[in-house]
Amino acid sequence: MTLNVKVSPRQPGVFVVAPIGAIDAAGNPIFQERINTVVAQRPDVVIMDMEFTDYINSMGLRALFAAKKSLQAYGGKIVYMRLQPQIRKVFDILGALPSLKVFASVQELDSYLDAMQARSRAGTANDD
């Protein structure tokens, strides 16, 4: 199956990246190009919606970790949503999940984003 990567803005500064299929040797160039395009826009948050991602290899993991590093350089974040069990297992094996934000549902993610924005507004109000 050919990898399809849907990218959509969710709100200002927040993008949803949804890979559909396998992030493998064939799909990684597509995935890498799409994630790099998003990161180049310097978003506050990149949401990786992994609901329809059925496989990821080391190249795909490298692309995710490189995106995380690029985002962190200016204070951006990458969060994960709806990881399939086999994808979660890969992250667990690598010991990567404790340092990553992972959400089970859109509602849980929305609550997180609301809290982030409230903190940001409170910080801005304190700066005046």
**Number of domains into which the chain is organized:** 1
pLDDT tens digit string along 36-63? 999 999 999 999 999 999 998 888 888 9
pLDDT tens digit string along 12-34? 999 999 999 999 889 999 999 99
Whole domain around residue 22: which residue ranges?
4-127
**Residues near 17 by beta carbon (within 8 Å), at least 6 away in sequence:** 5, 6, 7, 34, 35, 38, 46, 47, 48, 49
Output the pTM of the full model: 0.76
Q: In CATH, what number is assigned to the domain containing residue 102?
A: 3.30.750.24
